[in-house]
Structure 1
Amino acid sequence: MSQNLVLMLLGGALLRISAFSTTYVNYVKPGFRPFLIAAGVVIFAIGVLGLIRRAASGEHHHHGPKVAWLLCLPVFAVFLVAPPALGSFAAARSDAPPPPAPQVLDAYAPLEGDRPAEMPMSEFIGRVFSDSNQTLKDKRVKLTGFVTPARKKGQWYVTRMQLACCAADAYALKVIVRDVPPPKPDTWVQVTGTWVPTEIDENATGVIYAELAASDVEPVEAPSEPYE
């Protein structure tokens, strides 16, 4: 009986974070929602059917090892203390792959107008390292992410985690922010500034970061979809 109850709890936990809330986006991409809901329904149904079969057969033996109930602890954790999206602690230990060698790409559209252009972190980094037309030059942009401390004094990163599939394979997209004191780590901010050109040394090792000279930093609410 305990196995069936655990299945029902597990299925209920999946449904809670996917069908009845958007908590699931802290762990997987939004496109996985239908699969999580389907899995939750199936697991919950298997647990219910197991209980019905036991009741129909007259089996009421439920004195199994008490340690088996420890399997419920992860399920209770999802119900009571759902882990948040990955933040600065994970970002400090994860980086995006090194930028590709400079190549001629003309796919990025020019940035029109005088208003700051709001763009994803991945697009900004792509324009920095792969845009032959340097469409970022002298243009103001807005980047939204959370604050990650940097080792170098006077610098910090505006960061967004990117998923390939789920939180387990997430990596950090970081942009160095200059000229503005660092807010508290994990604070979500919108940074307005201009690109600081960086010369890429082909013989350099390690990750090379794009840089932004900030003119304004505003705290913002964490987005409903924290990952790119």
Structure 2
Amino acid sequence: MELLAHRGFWRTPEEKNSEVAFRRAFAAGFGIETDVRDCDGELVVSHDAPLAGAMPFRHLLDIYREYPVPTKLALNIKADGLQTALERMLQEAGVTNYVVFDMSVPDLLGYRRAGMPYYVRRSEFEGPSSLDSQASGVWLDAFERPFADAAAIGEAAEAVAGEIALVSPELHRRPHLDAWASWRDIEHRHANPMLLCTDFPEEARAYFETRGRQHD
């Protein structure tokens, strides 16, 4: 199970999407999920409407390049029309292990035309679409149900040949251990690489590595 530290590896809520959280994640060998939008003509890292002083996205890439292991950047696109600038900055930084997701469908078409790797979404409110065939994976979420179950994972695995990124329930302020127990048993049934986006990457590493050792 590949791990994505949600908004970096933070220890207090104030550290979300901060330099210290990103450095902690990269130093530990975790990928990250983070948010990209624009502010006054510049790409910045911010989940909500950005304030003055938001971290420039270019600075995140500079931090990322300092670490020897190029872990995955899952870029949650929070505004339309960023494709050209985002693609240019990623190319200039030599970053290839990334994926974009969560943008509007019209905006997603621009990323697809540019050949940038993208995830389609699945949840109890979002189903298959013609975008699946070229997707790099599925961002598998659950808003009102407890978590994505075996049937939801199986449907995603059949629809998309690529990765399945599971959204851990704590991101929606729900208990996570039942989901992790289910997913730990399911992940070996599918050829698709599995990722987990979590607020608890250290705990998740220990939990899923225990199961992995049992299968060795």
Asked if Structure 1 and Structure 2 have the same fold, meaning a TM-score greater than 0.5 normalized by the shorter chain, the answer is no
Normalising by the residue count of structure 1, what TM-score does the alignment of the two structures yield?
Answer: 0.22
Larger Rg: 1
Which protein is richer in helix relative to its size? 2
